[in-house]
A and B are shown apart, each in its own frame.
Chain A
Amino acid sequence: MENMLEVKNLSISFGGLRAVSEFDMNIGKGQLYGLIGPNGAGKTTIFNLLTGVYKPDEGIVKLDGQDITGKKTIDINKAGIARTFQNIRLFSQMSVLDNVKVGLHNHYHYNTLEGILRLPRYRKVEKEMNERAMELLKVFDLEKDAEYLASNLPYGQQRKLEIARALATDPKLLLLDEPAAGMNPNETKELMETISFVREHFNMTILLIEHDMKLVSGICEELTVLNFGKVLAQGPTAEVLNDPQVITAYLGE
């Protein structure tokens, strides 16, 4: 299997604290990969390193064979990584539809003047954007809420909208930062189905951070367990979850 993401020897320090050190990870195309570990282990830091929020001190990140180490966030997004956030970050004062349309921004073009003068191309492109955005919203069962302000959606739907917006950028790799945080068991179950559906439907490679073990063991094929910024265990889900080291460090006896 070809690798979608290759991370080698990734390290970063904040002051004296080595937040992530010598981190290696390979994710195959189409894989659903989990990143777990206790609080403060450096999971979100790794997401921030992968998406260019932080620049690594050392190491290489390759996406689909292309070196993206140290690039800017917007260039990494253009290269094909989209993400969601642990604390939801929607465009709260914009409509649900517009949130997705911002995600489509770099795939549909007309210039400022065409927009202000409402030239035919504006109408044509806007129509295409609306259709595409509604299609994406339909996947997440949000099409009837398209008019609402994003901040008026219930929590679970906000999480879904964030995924829809990330998918609108047409990524190769989707990073989900604790997608099930704050959800009840029913919502989590629904989310698991949605994630599996997204993977099938969009043929997507997904990396997710999660604390909900049911979700992790239910859908992830491979796992990396992180502890104090270092890889504790790596491999197929069932093996990793039975590793005695992982049980002591994270899962508890």
Chain B
Amino acid sequence: MKKLKLNKTTKNNLITYGIVILAYIIVEAMLAGGQISSLMKGLLVPLCVYVILAVSLNLVVGILGELSLGHAGFMCVGAFSSAFFSKCTAGMMPDGLRFFLALLIGAAIAALFGLIIGIPVLRLKGDYLAIVTLAFGEIIKNLINVFFIGKDANGFHFSMKDAMSLNMDGGDVIINGPQGITGTPNDSTFTIGVILVLITLVIVLHLINSRDGRAIMSIRDNRIAAESVGINITKYKLMAFIISAALAGVAGVLYAHNLATLTALPKNFGYNQSIMILVFVVLGGIGSTRGSMIAAVVLTLLPELLRGLNDYRMLIYAIVLIVMMLLNWSPKALEMRERYSPKRLLAKRKEAKEAK
């Protein structure tokens, strides 16, 4: 019995990794065969970014059970801190090493923000937590827009007014307020993206099936009971929040190093983005890591695939959202899925064969 359970979760995890690897092989094969349009090529890295974001947000929303609407904020922190680092150190070390360090820095600084935001915010519950995290995301985005940081022979200059007041003696303006960071080295590739997706999946799936993961889920299921068996609520809430923030930071690094110009716009780091990530998680089935991943892929590709339909694009997109929602959550649809699941059909066929 015990063995069976271990095998079952391991098997499930392997299927999830398998899907990613298979998708990677198929895409690579299609790339080699020249069957992917340049538009689609441009979407490959963002796809990985969104998958990482969805899987990491699922840790807070699905596993910890708290609604966070500031996920894009952590991504923003990771993106800007790593782009800043990459630009400062461009040419000083090999590209691979620099990108690796950028990843660590993006993750660490996002984690630090996770901690700073988490300590006050995790005292709140439900709607209140959602509103405060939402505000955090907006604050980060707006703060970045007034940061001016430059570097010259005398070192770093900082201002919150404009580029002129940096009083630079030659040198470079690295973060230029609303114009953001230009000329970040283009280190992100689809392969790196997929590797990061796999690492994210391993971290999240292994965490869920460990002592810490169980503690986090026990808080979600019943806080009072968790406390009564000696679970440190604050510690495990913070742990989930920080790991989730760090992974969002990684997504931000990947995102930043895929663009020539990184700016903090409502479109990429605003609350629309946070809601979009939440939609991935909800439609993927809250708490299901594989579901979050698939929903992120489908919903990122869909608007592009529907481009040909022009006027009806957003209409179809909305309808797909509703249908996905129904398929995932309506009791009747769940019953249908159960009845027509491939596993069940196979078992039936086997039974019929044996009966013969």
Contacts and interface: CB of A to CB of B under 8 A. Distances in A.
Interface of A: 51, 53, 73-74, 77-78, 82-83, 85, 89-95, 97-98, 101-103, 105-106, 108-110, 112, 115-118, 122, 125-126, 129-130, 134, 143-144, 146-147, 165-166, 168-169
B222 interface: yes
Interface centre among A85, A92, A103, A105 (most CB of B within 10 A): A105
Given A116-B207, A116-B210, A146 B2 contact: yes
Given A94-B218, A105-B229, A115-B210, 4 more contacts: A51-B228, A97-B2, A98-B217, A146-B2
Interface of B: 1-2, 4-5, 202-203, 206-207, 210-215, 217-218, 220-222, 224-233, 239, 287
B227 A74 contact: yes
Contacts of B2: 97, 130, 134, 146
17 contacts: A74-B230, A77-B230, A89-B222, A89-B225, A92-B222, A93-B217, A93-B287, A102-B226, A102-B231, A105-B229, A106-B230, A115-B207, A115-B211, A126-B211, A134-B1, A146-B2, A147-B5
A110 to B, nearest CB: 7
A146 B4 CA distance: 11
Contacts of B224: 53, 85, 89
A146 B212 contact: no
B230 A112 contact: no
A87 B2 CA distance: 29
A110 B211 contact: yes
Contacts of A103: 229
Contact of A166 (B203, B211, B229, B232): B229
B111 to A, nearest CB: 13
Contacts of B213: 115
A164 to B, nearest CB: 11
Nearest to B210: A115
Nearest to B5: A147
Closest 6 CB pairs of A and B: A115-B210, A91-B221, A89-B225, A77-B230, A102-B218, A73-B227
A67 B202 CA distance: 44
Contacts of B227: 73-74, 77
Nearest to B212: A112
B4 A147 contact: yes
A159 to B, nearest CB: 13
B206 A82 contact: no
**What is the predominant secondary structure among interface residues of chain A facing chain B?**
helix
A94 B210 contact: no
A140 to B, nearest CB: 15
A204 to B, nearest CB: 16
Contact of B215 (A102, A118, A122, A130): A102
B230 A78 contact: yes
Interface centre among B218, B221, B229 (most CB of A within 10 A): B229
A177 B202 CA distance: 41
Nearest to A130: B2
A115 B287 CA distance: 19
Given A77-B228, A77-B230, A102-B231, A116 B202 contact: yes
Interface centre among B215, B217, B225, B233 (most CB of A within 10 A): B225
A146 B2 CA distance: 8
B301 to A, nearest CB: 30
Contact of A118 (B206, B222, B231): B206
A166 B1 CA distance: 23
Contact of A91 (B207, B212, B222): B222
Contacts of B211: 101, 105, 108-110, 115, 125-126, 129
A103 B214 CA distance: 10
B31 to A, nearest CB: 32
Contacts of B220: 93
B207 A112 contact: yes
B121 to A, nearest CB: 21
A102 B229 contact: yes
Contacts of A130: 2
A91 B217 contact: yes
Interface centre among B210, B215, B218, B230 (most CB of A within 10 A): B230
A46 to B, nearest CB: 15
Contacts of A126: 210-211
A148 B342 CA distance: 22
Contact of B221 (A94, A116, A143): A94
A112 B224 CA distance: 23
Contacts of A116: 202-203, 206-207, 210
Nearest to A168: B229
A74 B207 contact: no
Contact of A93 (B203, B221, B230): B221
Nearest to A162: B225
Given A91-B221, A115-B212, A165 B229 contact: yes
Contacts of B215: 102, 105
Contact of A90 (B221, B230, B232): B221
A126 B210 CA distance: 8
A130 B218 CA distance: 17
B207 A101 contact: no
Contacts of A147: 1, 4-5
